[in-house]
Amino acid sequence: MVVYTILNNGIIGIRNEDINYVLQPNERSSTIWYQIPFYNIATDEVEESITQAQIDERLELEEKQTVAQLLAQFENDGKAFFHEIRVLVMYHYNKGTINQTQFNAIKDILRPAIAPLLIGEWDQAKINVDALNRPSGVLGNLYDFVKGGIDDYLL
């Protein structure tokens, strides 16, 4: 049972107790843990005092928090994938499998296309990458890696 402790006609404590718990004179019980409990002096009972507007407000806040968490996850994942791409490009440049001209082309063409990943906009990055012509050779493999990673994420 839920036990509400009353002092000076107000609720000062709420706790769960076993069904066999013996109430003290300053306590009232309920089977419900009210969201906004109110001690009604006239009836000597604890009642719910939350309004529909407050319930709606709480639901909206929870929904916004869920959206915010999802957007933060998109952004974190996007930053991680962007960094992974940069590491791969730099690896190939240092290894010599792409030359300076190819490296500059990646910075000039691919980086702006995938920049939306940094703010979690995977859908915009997909549109941008899909609009690029697939190059050949090592750059084609890089393009496939980027496109595949974005496509897989969006699935």
Tell me whether strands 2-7 and 10-16 are parallel, antiparallel or unpaired: antiparallel
Q: Does the reported pTM lie above 0.75?
A: no
Domain boundaries along the sequence of the chain: 2-50, 54-154
Strand bridging mode 37-40 / 27-30:
unpaired
Q: How many CB atoms lie within 10 A of CB 45?
A: 13
DSSP string, 53-99: HHHHHHHHHHHHHHHHHHHHHHHHHHHHHHHHHHHHHHHHHHHTSS-
How far apart, in whole angstroms, are the C-alpha atoms of residue 64 and residue 77? 20
136, 104 Cβ separation under 8 angstroms: no
Averaged pLDDT in 10-residue chunks for the chain of 155 residues: 95 95 95 93 93 93 96 98 96 94 91 96 97 91 96 96
